[in-house]
Amino acid sequence: MTKQEYLNELKSELAKNAVPDADDILMEYEQHFQFKLADGFTEEEIAFKLGSPAQIAAQYVGIPGEKKAKGGKKFLLVLWLTIIGIIEAFLYGAFLYFIVALFVASLVPAALGVELIMGINYLNILPPMPYGGAIVFGIMLLALCVILVVFAIYCFAYLRQMVRASLRWRKNLMRGENLPLLPMSPQFQPKTRRTLRTILLWAVLVFAIAFVAGYAILSIYTHSFGFWHALGWFGYPATIH
């Protein structure tokens, strides 16, 4: 069988079996002939080694044709994804700014807490109070810093997962792949998740205890529940020094 005879027979066998994309398939076998001819085989040898056209055609039965996205459809898809992408980018950008702000904001209680604990008052921004109250409020502020940092980490993980899920969804749409969609919630390793949760719980606990204790200490010290009056905070005249 010559190359042309083989291809003709394959073509009619494919048509007989209603195999889709027959032109593509024929092209593949024609190229096989070309490669083999270049290696010095004769058309008869190549046709014999390929196997009979009927057998080959039978192996294509049941394979669905390729879904080729039409040019216009593809263009609409890209346009649509671009529009959504711009909106998404704004949301993610705003979220990212928020997260950065959280990280920066967490530095403030940290700095104030360290000042209170070390008994210094750099730039004179802290109200006067006895050291017994200051150290407890210092601890409270450090706990607040930890809470903010953990919250920021959660937010960042959430943002990252959202971006990943969005990219996966786009990839599936654009390339016609069927990768599993990703969940939106942050995916921590179980160990990381447990650690973060433990840190957060302890920080909240320390914050609450220190707040109550600090309030109590200063109230006892000044004999007043509104201790800030007695200590002369916020411009009140101090009655205790």
User: Whose Cβ is closer to another protein: residue 179's or residue 201's?
Assistant: 179
Contact residues for 160 (Cβ-Cβ < 8 A; gap 6+): 186
Kindly indicate which of the ranges 62-70, 77-85, 156-164, 211-219 contains the residues binding another protein, using the contact rule CB under 8 A.
62-70
Among 4, 16, 35, 98, binds another protein (CB under 8 A): 35
CA distance readout (Å), 226 to 131, 207, 221? 18, 20, 11
- When asked if residue 51 is in the footprint of another protein (CB under 8 A), the reply is yes
Answer yes or no whether residue 29 interacts with another protein by CB under 8 A: yes
* Smallest distance, another protein to C-beta of residue 159, A: 23
Shortest distance, CB of residue 62 to another protein, whole angstroms?
A: 8
Smallest distance, Å, CB 8 to another protein? 15
Using CB under 8 A, count the residues that bind another protein.
Answer: 27
Amino acid at 230: A
Residue 40 found at the interface with another protein (CB under 8 A)? no
Query: Shortest Cβ distance from residue 34 to another protein (Å)?
Result: 5
Q: Indicate whether 177 belongs to the interface with another protein (CB under 8 A).
A: yes
Closest approach, Cβ 61 to another protein, in A, equals: 9
**16 versus 194: smaller Cβ distance to another protein:** 16
Binding-site member from 15, 16, 23, 31 for another protein (CB under 8 A): 31
What is the rounded CA–CA span in Å between residue 153 and residue 156?
5
Binding site for another protein (CB under 8 A): 25, 28-32, 34-36, 38, 46, 49-51, 55-56, 59-60, 63-66, 175-179
